[in-house]
Structure 1
Amino acid sequence: MPEDWNRALAIVAHPDDLEYGAAAAIARWTAAGREVAYLMVTRGEAGIDTMEPERAARVRQAEQRASAAVVGVEEVEFLDHRDGVVEEGVALRRDLTAAIRRHRPELLITLNHHETWGGVNWNTPDHRAVGRAVLDAAGDAGNRWIFTDLADRGLEPWDGVRWVAVAGSPQPTHAVEVAQEDVDRAVASLAEHRAYIGALSDKEPAEYAREFVTGVMDMLAGQTGGRRAVAFQVYPRG
């Protein structure tokens, strides 16, 4: 996995997406002094069946901020695209391009944009739309002739994105080895999504989170020599 970078921006569709994929790696990176910021395209308002959207948005934003803090991420932003019906297209690309120009990362992180999870379960439209838009916006951010209005707002082109790393991809190319303390922080980070987990499972959030996080890593163990790691599909940019 590339290590010669200092600033990353993680862009995903929903609160909790990073905790289900990349949090242990992010914990390792922030502990090493790297800067990581989060951008959620939605506020997760359609994610809890027993909670009306306006309240769910408030709850899930608070849970996401608490979750990010556990792995050393201080900056968490939310866009206002509608949860469940994120539209892939120019408007989304413009918003992501603006964020990339604002944060000026070398590494972008996102979640699986492929049609399935491991060729078995169908991926959701929001994940697919956002992941693909991240890949597109990585290039858009550096082209001064695309979204020219952004420069008028002080967002000058940024062609410094060197890689896009996709967590949860069924086609991983790289892995970040993590220590037990990184795993523990990732578990605690996921467990902060208490209301969301409570709607999914009867288990205590900490128990649910540990089973999920360690279960994913154990599935990768055969490809990592038995070491715990987080896998990514990495797209280098020329």
Structure 2
Amino acid sequence: MEQGGFRPEAGIRQVLVFAAHPDDVDFGAAGTIARWTSAGVKVVYCIMTDGDAGGFDESHRPDIAAMRAREQASAAAIVGVEDIRYLGQRDGYLEASHEVVKQVVGLIREIRPDVVMAMHPERAWDRIQKSHPDHLACGEAVTRAVYPAVENPYAYPELAEAGLAAYKVPYLWFYGGPRERDNHFVDVTDYVDAKLAAIRIHSSQHPDLDRMDATVRSNLQDNAARGGLREGRSAEVFHVVGINTPATFAGF
């Protein structure tokens, strides 16, 4: 079930989604994103690395980064996203360094979203494949940026001098985290086909698309059951954290 009033029609107008690699966001949140964009929400992607260490076909190596960028653009278009930013970090080497945090702070201050979405910074031991080191670094960098740097005018003062004023992020949504952290279930039944179409675009990464399709469908149905949706529904899951909400006061 949807919890806490996190519906797009309840004030979400702008969302900024961070991912470590091309295709991460499609696995984690493409159904929710399709639901949002269909309701008029503007969504921007930020892919932190170029994905050059991904894939399984040796013949793709010389062009893999450009190939993955093309795949991501096509996949994003399926779910209504046109604006994709890249931080240009090296695949497999992503760290929550001050360089990366500053890039994240600058982009959040530019976009000023109602929701920041990112990969989870905690390792999921039930399925460690969710917790690629770059995924964890993505979540940690975004978390460090969201609080306190984005809202602190004295953090990275060169950003403020460049016109990127401090901004208070209302909510931070994590995807791909430990199962026990899931606290928000979004019904994406009407957007499963769009999500799977977006994932299938990333064919350079998936040698068995049919098995991938079946696995994703099964996981979405399992999510829905855990979230209390009726049988036959599908859901994506998130760990939603309030950063600056009516329940917070002066940063506490």
- Indicate the residue corresponding to 1:234 in structure 2: 240
Shift of 1:221: 3.2
Report the equivalent of 1:179.
189
Distance 1:58 1:109 in 2: 24
Aligned pairs (5 A) from 1:41-60 = 41-49=48-56, 50=58, 55-60=63-68
Q: Which amino acid aligns with 1:213?
A: V
Change (3 A) 1:66 1:190: same
Query: Cα RMSD (Å) of the superposition?
Result: 1.8
Deviations 1:99-145 (A, max 9, x none): 10111101011123212253655721111111011111112111100
Letter in 2 for 1:215: S
> TM-score, normalization: structure 1?
0.90
Query: Does the 8 A contact of 1:188 with 1:209 survive in 2?
Result: no
Which residue of 1 is the match for residue 201 of structure 2? 192
Tell me which residue corresponds to 1:123.
Answer: 131
1:53-132 superposed matches below 5 A: 55-118=63-126, 123-132=131-140
Paired amino acid for 2:226 = Q
Match of 1:222 in 2: 225
Gaps of 5+ in 2: none
In 2, Cα distance between the equivalents of 1:154 and 1:183? 40
Counterpart selection for 2:161 from 120, 130, 152? 152
Identity of paired residues, percent? Answer: 31
Match in the other structure for 1:34: 41
Provide the secondary structure at the position in 1 that maps to 2:135.
Answer: helix
Equivalent residue number for residue 210 of structure 1? 213
CA contact (8 A) 1:183 1:213 kept: no
Select the structure that is richer in helix. 2
Matched position secondary structure for 1:41: strand
Gaps of 5+ in 1: none
| C-alpha deviation, 1:96, in angstroms | 0.4
Shift of 1:175: 0.9
> CA 1:98 to 1:54, structure 2 compared with 1: closer, same or farther past 3 Å?
farther
Q: Following the alignment from structure 1 to structure 2, what is the Cα–Cα distance between the partners of residues 112 and 42?
A: 16
* 2: CA distance, partners of 1:8 / 1:221: 23
Alignment length (residue pairs):
230
Contact map agreement 2:185 2:224 (CA 8 A) in 1 = no
The 8 Å contact of residues 117 and 169 in structure 1, kept in 2 or not, is answered as no
Structure 2 letter corresponding to 1:23: A
Task: State yes or no: 1:163 paired with 2:171.
Answer: yes
